[in-house]
Structure 1
Amino acid sequence: MTCYRNGVKCMLLLFFMGLAALNTYSYWKDSLNVMTENTSMQPKVTVEQSSIIPFQCPYESWNQIHPDIVPNENLHLEWIQSNISRRDNILESQIRLLSSFVYLDHISITTNSQRSYGQKVYCRYYNCLREEISNSSYQSIFFPMNIIRCPRRIGVKYMSISFDSEEIPQEPIPLVYRVFEAPIHEVSVCVGPIYGSESKWLEVAEFIEHYKLIGVRYFYFTVFNMNEYSRKIFDEYLRTGEIELTVIQSEYKTIDWQFHLLQINECHQRSKHHSKWVINVDIDERLVILDDKINSVGSLLSGYNDTVAEVGFAIRRIQKTEKLPEKYESDEQIISKMEFLKYNVSSPVSWGAYKTIYRPEKIAAMYYHWAYQRYPGTVAEYVKSEIALFRHYRTTKKNILGSGWLTDPNYKNFSIVPEETKFAEKLKENVLKKIKYVYDQRVLYCEEIAEIPYEEYKEFGHDIFNCTFRKETGSNKSVD
């Protein structure tokens, strides 16, 4: 009996000793695993497959319609068959995408083409990731010269085109938002294209400040090329949010008036549903209101109902005999070069090349000065020249388009017709203020540099400052 009890005790002792050994081994193994994980160059990461969700493009409330038609498409086809507004300017021009706009009921794409009128083309649609939206392409047509209209698609953010549904399309371009229930600008200006070697900076400032004084608050500019000095004034008006700037990249080394319709058509689409009225002018043309009872162009147009698609104005040509200044030198120089002060030799009033202000959504196709085709149910009106007209500062140089205008019988019997005195004085003040803000620059004086950056420059081995000491001449003075 004693021997049996001793055997049981021995078995229990062995059991507990084994259990203790097992616990010790488990603890040692866990500790080793922890040490391995802490010292590994590739830490263990556990990722549940269900948590990997690809980025999804947002679908804004305005971007969720998918119509099957383009407004007025059948009407456009009828006009195409009759060659309404057809204009083939450059027969071998490339077809480059320029801009695209999304409106409440369709999308417009503008291109550089000047030879595609009536040509079939496919609209191609892309989401926010620039991925083509499946089963979305649509066969459309060029009308007018360089414009394609497309139906909207859900979630589209970029557009492109191709001439076959299987063709690799051009690189897509972003949609510009124009889904407005009502225009956000009352009157804006579509400004003729900027190109050529002549500096435009002073003319741009005069133009914008003139129209601001008669109530215009927004401008659409188009640039083919300009020098760096002139670009500074555009950058200033971009900063203040008063202009949109479209830059057209062309395959041609030189640009001339043949490319003007690209700007007119692009600006027509750009301003549509964005501005109620658009003044269609070149940069050397200024609307002047002669009726003292009318204080703005908005009030001038306010009396026209919704059937009026465009309003015509007579012109008065004014001889511009010199080129614009290359750079700002002084206040006196700028005042002496301001066109509205310098040039007043004026022709009689003429309707021969009248200009218009138009309602963009009521026009199907624009021409250089007026609408080529209005939509049905609309009319044109004309303003008496005693109420308002355009002053056209037309160059007298003989090596440009239309240089023979001085021999035209419509422009004889010149007289001196200056701007209204108070208006001219205010315009001079505003132009000079803007020009000085942008171009009246001075050197950096070394004394202006605070002590800490001055010492840091020396410490890090910069022995030249781009500055001038007030008591010395020259620049890039040594800091020794």
Structure 2
Amino acid sequence: MIKQSGEVAEILECVLNERNNVHTISTPFAELIKSLKRPHPNKRCSHTKLISAFSYEEYVAVTLEVSDSTGFIVYCRYYDCLFREVGEPFAAKIFPDHTVFCARRIGADYIAISNSTNKNELVHQVKIQARFGEYQHFFTVCLNAKSQGESRFFQIAEFIEYHKMQGATFFQVYLQNITDYDRLLIEDYSRTGDIEYIKFENSQNLESALKNDCYFRNKGFSKWTIFLDLDEKIEVKQDERVVDYLRKIDGVQFTSLDFKIHQYPKMETHPIVYSNLTVNENTTIFQESNRRLEEVEDYSEHLLVQSDQMIISLKSQAFPEVKRQKVSENVAVIRKYIKTKRNSELLTILGKFSTNIEKELPKKITKRIKYVYDIVDVECFKKEITYLRHGGMNVPCYVEMVKNQTALIGTSKK
């Protein structure tokens, strides 16, 4: 049940609008969640680090890093724009893993999850992001860009540019252990509105938590979305783009599409830093990606999801309303690139990507990387003019140049 407040807000300095002017008393799966037994009656959930929070018409979904905590009782705590607690806490249970469904509260701009209603309990608030209204995108991609500390800027650019050519118009990028060098590229994609990035310092395997967050992040935001690792690409056959295939089946009541995995050998080396010798229109992974390894019988765990029909992670629970459609490998597959020591002569030679992708993708990768990393140095005397004009100081290269010239003149006089 929803109550709309028509009164003037009494919360000073904070504005009420359709995004935060709603009070609800129930959440999805209320009866099912109520019936869940606590895994350990005398134990509290010790780790409730929040990732994000998204508000829909009747509830707020809070995504967590915590796993294996289904059934633990927690409390939703609400805060206004100045982080003052508003409204009554809402008792909830973690369900499914990584998720808490909370009721909505008038004036709530931020939310936290706690083990009690004690106002002195230290909590971590996250901003509530609205997810209702018209779709902002038709097809988006979530990227798990986990790194072991090595530079992966080339693979990131290739992944994003490839899926942009497939019709994806926005990317949510989950970052773990990314290098400062790679961050330059990520921030440039953010600057141009291609991506948003969610940063994690934690090195543990968070894939199931990130995938869950991806689904909720795109519910009400994008019609279709898929969560992929950096070494994966979705491909539709017959020179068709992913977005064209999705438009053809638009209106079909599938919750998700399941794809077969086709494995391909991964290049052993990628450029670590940019130079016009290591990154140009001839250095793309597709040069070595058309020889496939043996077919993998299993379908990928990474599903192309119709976001509004996905209320929880498919991996968490099975529900009768969840309709998963397996897609023939003759129609579309997920290419997964793996390291292999097998003799390349034993690999099956397959057809290439579409002619347009083979031709245009290297250009797009090179253009973006060159823009970010190919920084042309300004002549020293021009730097000196700018330094004097704005700071009244000398640029170090100019000081060094004058010093060398003075020394040279002194030597010639001798």
TM-score of the aligned structures, taking structure 2 as reference length: 0.84
User: What residue ranges of structure 2 are gaps of 5+ in the alignment?
Assistant: 1-9, 407-414
* Distance change >3 Å, CA 217–CA 452, structure 1 → 2: closer
Helix, strand or coil at the partner of 2:371: helix
Match of 2:309 in 1: 362
> For each residue in 1:241-281, what CA deviation from the matched residue of structure 2 results, as whole angstroms up to 9, or x when unmatched?
1111111243xxxx25x321121112122111111111121
1:141 aligns with 2:87: no
Which runs of structure 2 are paired with 1:314-325 in the superposition (5 Å)?
314-325=260-271
Following TM superposition, by how much is the alpha carbon of 1:122 offset from its aligned partner in structure 2, in angstroms? Answer: 0.4
* Distance change >3 Å, CA 77–CA 350, structure 1 → 2: farther
Which of 274, 293, 298 pairs up with 1:352?
298
Distance 1:120 1:456 in 2: 59
Distance 1:345 1:452 in 2: 54
Following TM superposition, by how much is the alpha carbon of 1:239 offset from its aligned partner in structure 2, in angstroms? Answer: 0.5
Match of 2:364 in 1: 430
Helix, strand or coil at the partner of 1:70: coil
Select the structure that is richer in helix: 1
Distance 1:54 1:102 in 2: 20
Match of 1:21 in 2: none
Distance 2:122 2:250 in 1: 44
Distance 1:306 1:140 in 2: 34
* Distance change >3 Å, CA 318–CA 92, structure 1 → 2: farther
Distance 1:92 1:478 in 2: 66
Following TM superposition, by how much is the alpha carbon of 1:169 offset from its aligned partner in structure 2, in angstroms? Answer: 4.3
Which runs of structure 2 are paired with 1:107-186 in the superposition (5 Å)?
107-134=60-87, 136-166=88-118, 168-178=121-131, 180-186=132-138
> For each residue in 1:72-92, what CA deviation from the matched residue of structure 2 results, as whole angstroms up to 9, or x when unmatched?
2223456x5699xxxxxxx99
Match of 2:396 in 1: 465
2:145–2:173 Cα contact (<8 Å) kept: yes
Which of 376, 379, 385 pairs up with 2:329?
385
Distance 2:38 2:305 in 1: 24
1:92–1:115 Cα contact (<8 Å) kept: no
Which of 140, 143, 146 pairs up with 1:194?
146
Q: How many pairs were matched up?
A: 387
2:236–2:245 Cα contact (<8 Å) kept: no
* Distance change >3 Å, CA 82–CA 156, structure 1 → 2: closer
Following TM superposition, by how much is the alpha carbon of 1:227 offset from its aligned partner in structure 2, in angstroms? Answer: 0.7
User: What residue ranges of structure 1 are gaps of 5+ in the alignment?
Assistant: 1-52, 84-90, 398-405, 468-474
Which letter does structure 2 place at the counterpart of 1:324? Answer: H
Which letter does structure 2 place at the counterpart of 1:199? Answer: S
* Distance change >3 Å, CA 451–CA 65, structure 1 → 2: closer
Which runs of structure 2 are paired with 1:14-163 in the superposition (5 Å)?
55-77=12-34, 80=36, 94-134=47-87, 136-163=88-115
Distance 1:65 1:455 in 2: 54
> For each residue in 1:270-302, what CA deviation from the matched residue of structure 2 results, as whole angstroms up to 9, or x when unmatched?
11111111112111111122124x444244354
Helix, strand or coil at the partner of 1:247: strand
Which letter does structure 2 place at the counterpart of 1:129? Answer: L
Consecutive aligned runs of 4 or more in structure 1 exceeding 6 Å deviation: none
Higher relative contact order structure (alpha carbons within 8 Å, sequence separation ≥ 6): 2
- State which structure, 1 or 2, has the greater radius of gyration over its C-alpha atoms: 1
Distance 1:377 1:452 in 2: 65
Over the matched positions of the two proteins, sequence identity in percent amounts to 25
Distance 1:238 1:215 in 2: 18
> For each residue in 1:102-128, what CA deviation from the matched residue of structure 2 results, as whole angstroms up to 9, or x when unmatched?
112210112221242211100001111
Distance 1:347 1:76 in 2: 44
Which of 372, 376, 381 pairs up with 1:442?
376
Distance 2:46 2:348 in 1: 44
Which of 177, 200, 203 pairs up with 2:155?
203
1:363–1:373 Cα contact (<8 Å) kept: no
> For each residue in 1:341-378, what CA deviation from the matched residue of structure 2 results, as whole angstroms up to 9, or x when unmatched?
233331244341424201234235436xxx44354334
